[in-house]
Amino acid sequence: MARQRRSLETQINSLDEQIDKLQEKLNSLVQQKKELLGKKREEELRELYDFMTTNNMSVQDMYNLIGQEEHTA
């Protein structure tokens, strides 16, 4: 019986190690995704700002363009 208990503990420990490694990988992937989403947001904001400056538009002009009521910040 002691032999099986040790074997079960070994299996449990092995699974715990695998879970820890996968959790670290998952955390890393989540962080990479956050960074990419941040870069995408910056690019889109830069593109929008370039459009606005090229067309001499204000933020309110943009709200009017998309048909929303006056926006107050």
pLDDT at site 50: 98
DSSP string, 12-23: HHHHHHHHHHHH
> Mean pLDDT for each 10-residue chunk of the chain (73 residues)?
79 98 99 99 98 96 83 59
Token digits of residue 53: 């400056």
Q: Say what the pTM is.
A: 0.68
pLDDT at site 22: 99
pLDDT at site 7: 93
Token digits of residue 52: 């606005």
Q: What is the rounded CA–CA span in Å between residue 19 and residue 9?
A: 15
pLDDT at site 51: 96
pLDDT at site 6: 82
